Structure 1
Amino acid sequence: MVKTWEQLDEVQPNVMKLLKNSLIKERLAHAYLFEGMRGTGKREVSLILAKSLFCERPVEGYRPCEVCNNCKRVNSGNHPDIHVLEPDGLSIKKHQIQALQGEFAKTGVESKKKLYTIVHADRMTVNAANSLLKFLEEPNSETTAILLTEQSQQILPTILSRCQIVSFKPLSSVNLIKKLTELGVEPYKAPIIAQLTNNLDEALSLSSDDWFAQAQKIVVKLYEVLKKNPLEALVSLQEDWFLHFKEKEQFDQGLNLLLLIFKDLLYIQLGKPEQVVYLSEKVRLEQFALQTSGRRLTEQMTAIFDAKRKLHSNMNPQLLMEQLVLKLQEGSSFV
């Protein structure tokens, strides 16, 4: 789906401000490197920059009008002076760069301006990178290059030095939730995932991970038995938690999920139900929130933070969880 300037401004305001100022002042760099995680809008921004450059009637001097012939052709991928290069198999080969150079040696079909975008620029072979370097060393004033990468450390320093590097920030939780739902993740799953990562790849992986789905059920069950008696909670640890959470990273993820339940309860008490992330448990959480106090919730959240700290200082995870369960029930200081 084609994004508007306004939509991209919500996701990457710093990037869009930089490009806006460069367009208005007519001081675009001859080469840009857009670097950042997958899903942060690099490709969409390269598309809108292309439209801004070729638009027949840019709004306020920088925004593409989206209705002129050039804007429509850029959107459809049919503009003769715009070229997009993607890996041929696993890498971008030398012959691809040479073919691109051949195109740019010709006069622009409709104007002197030309633009090329290299997707996954970090996947260029050494020979391809060296060919591109020669291209970048002798820039045509009417040519704009945009390199896209998630791995800028894989690109030759000599290429980096000839590009203006534009960093794309990880998505905020709000934007990540929106992106996940656009990609088909169930709306009740997305808010929890967005609290645990701002990496789109990792978020998508979690959304389809059976282990993670089961982990959420075990954490909710543990919270429910915590409200009953210490013995039942310790039994639940043995029967469920310790069988599912085995590695240190898994324990940590379990503690993160447990922490989110207490945060949800606190948000409900503070009159901020829109902040709740366990949407499938919201009705029950609203009932649970009536049975505790804000001070108690704060103490319990502090206990979980302490447990996470002790986990990373190599305390025995099973002993740690047993102590945490007792602390969450009693309210005594965490050992």
Structure 2
Amino acid sequence: MAMSWDEVAEMQPDVITYIKNSFQKERVAHAYLFEGMHGTGKRDTAILLAKALFCENLHERYKPCESCLNCKRITSGNHPDLHLVEPDGLSIKKQQIKDLQEEFSKKGMESSRKVYMVIDAEKMSVSAANSLLKFLEEPGADTVAILLTENPQRILPTILSRCQIIAFHPLKPDFFIKKLIENGVDPNSAHLLAQMTNNVHEAMDLNVQDWFAHAQLVVVKLYEVLKKTPLEAMVALQGEWFVHFKEKEQIDRGLDLLLLVFRDLLYIQLGKQEQIVFRREAARLQQLALHTRMSSLPDQMAAVLEAKRKLQANMNPQLLMEQLVLKLQEGSAFV
């Protein structure tokens, strides 16, 4: 479900203030580029901007009413003068931009205004990007483009130079945790989920996955195994870790969780128990912290981060994990 103007204003106050001022001062740009990580509200804001452009009953000259025909059509995804371009497979192709240009050569169905949104704009092929550039260079008087991206560095500089760039900041953890709790997530789980993703919907999905619940147990158990012999640690890897973490993305999640275990132990050592995120395992971690050498934890966290880098560089996952466990055991944090 799309967010309201007030919800987005709470999430991205600077962005909403900028859009509000643009409308009140009648300085709406011909092209915007919304850039920021996944889950920061770019798409919801783009929809709200489109509503503000078409709304028949704007509040205070900037806020869509949500009840007029145009607002309702945009909410349902069938406004004739709002066009969406999304990747066709892995990329946005030249033909998609050509089709858009052809559509925009026609007069608007409802008014002279036309708006188009390009989702994941960094996925445009070179030819598609060049076609879009020509479109941006000669905008129609009532044409507004809204490009969305997580990777602005992968977009042609000539396209960036023709857009008003608006940065979407990562959600503040307190705000994110509050939103999760409001959506029925247990507070003990909300703190951990807020470290795993910046997207409310993704966090809600993780929250109900049996896989993710069991992953937390496997990771804490792996930490405990580090104080045993290398042979016992390798047996644990084969018997539990690789059984549960199979795909590359799953292993990356597992390494993220392992990193958070080390961080929680460091917080406990520093007397900052209120900052730990493995709250369901708090008592267990408190006991482990009693037998953990704090000076070893930063180096071990660095080893996990290095393993994440090697995973992304496509190192063999089994070899990677075996090397990591041996390295963690060499710099043992246990006393």
1:260 matched to 2:264: yes
- Per the alignment, residue 169 of structure 2 pairs with 169
Task: Assess if the C-alpha contact under 8 Å between 1:255 and 1:304 holds in 2.
Answer: no
Instruction: State the Cα distance separating 1:51 from its structure 2 match.
Output: 0.8
Distance 2:107 2:256 in 1: 59
1:41 matched to 2:49: no
Pair 1:308–1:92, CA change in 2 (3 A)? closer
1:151-204 per-position Cα deviation (integer Å, ceiling 9, x unaligned): 323322222221112222233334555787899998755532433565889979
Percent of matched pairs sharing the same residue: 46
Pair 1:251–1:71, CA change in 2 (3 A)? closer
Distance 1:251 1:91 in 2: 29
Pair 1:68–1:237, CA change in 2 (3 A)? farther
Pair 1:213–1:191, CA change in 2 (3 A)? farther
Task: Assess if the C-alpha contact under 8 Å between 1:94 and 1:125 holds in 2.
Answer: yes
Pair 1:158–1:222, CA change in 2 (3 A)? closer
Instruction: State the Cα distance separating 1:304 from its structure 2 match.
Output: 1.7
Pair 1:306–1:181, CA change in 2 (3 A)? same
1:12 matched to 2:12: yes
1:78-111 per-position Cα deviation (integer Å, ceiling 9, x unaligned): 2222111223333333332222222222222332
Q: 1:235 aligns with which of 228, 231, 245?
A: 228
Distance 2:188 2:106 in 1: 53
Distance 2:128 2:324 in 1: 51
1:23-81 per-position Cα deviation (integer Å, ceiling 9, x unaligned): 22111210111122222221111100001111122222211111122211111112222
SS of 1:29's partner is coil
SS of 1:234's partner is coil
Distance 1:222 1:215 in 2: 11
Q: 1:304 aligns with which of 284, 297, 308?
A: 297
| Higher alpha-carbon deviation: 135-144 or 302-311 | 302-311
Distance 2:324 2:50 in 1: 56
Task: Assess if the C-alpha contact under 8 Å between 1:242 and 1:318 holds in 2.
Answer: no
Larger radius of gyration: 1
- Per the alignment, residue 333 of structure 2 pairs with 325
Pair 1:211–1:118, CA change in 2 (3 A)? closer
- Per the alignment, residue 122 of structure 2 pairs with 122
Task: Assess if the C-alpha contact under 8 Å between 2:177 and 2:194 holds in 1.
Answer: yes
Task: Assess if the C-alpha contact under 8 Å between 1:35 and 1:166 holds in 2.
Answer: yes
Instruction: State the Cα distance separating 1:317 from its structure 2 match.
Output: 6.4
| Higher alpha-carbon deviation: 166-175 or 6-15 | 166-175
- Per the alignment, residue 219 of structure 1 pairs with 220
Distance 2:152 2:141 in 1: 25
1:242-257 aligned within 5 A? 243-244=236-237, 254-257=258-261
**Any unmatched runs of 5+ in structure 2?**
243-251, 308-322
Q: Which residue identity is paired with 2:333? A: V
Pair 1:47–1:157, CA change in 2 (3 A)? same
SS of 1:83's partner is strand
SS of 1:23's partner is helix
Distance 2:76 2:63 in 1: 18
Task: Assess if the C-alpha contact under 8 Å between 1:133 and 1:158 holds in 2.
Answer: yes
Task: Assess if the C-alpha contact under 8 Å between 2:219 and 2:257 holds in 1.
Answer: no
- Per the alignment, residue 66 of structure 2 pairs with 66
| Higher alpha-carbon deviation: 303-312 or 13-22 | 303-312
Task: Assess if the C-alpha contact under 8 Å between 2:233 and 2:325 holds in 1.
Answer: no
- Per the alignment, residue 229 of structure 1 pairs with none
Distance 1:97 1:311 in 2: 43
Q: Which residue identity is paired with 1:263? A: Y
**Any unmatched runs of 5+ in structure 1?**
226-232, 328-335
Equivalent pairs counted in the alignment come to 305
Instruction: State the Cα distance separating 1:257 from its structure 2 match.
Output: 1.1
Task: Assess if the C-alpha contact under 8 Å between 2:84 and 2:117 holds in 1.
Answer: yes
Instruction: State the Cα distance separating 1:212 from its structure 2 match.
Output: 9.2
Q: Which residue identity is paired with 1:192? A: L
1:82 matched to 2:113: no
Please report the TM-score for the alignment, with normalisation by the length of structure 1: 0.71
- Per the alignment, residue 144 of structure 1 pairs with 144
1:196-211 aligned within 5 A? 198=198
Q: Which residue identity is paired with 2:92? A: I
Q: Which residue identity is paired with 2:263? A: L
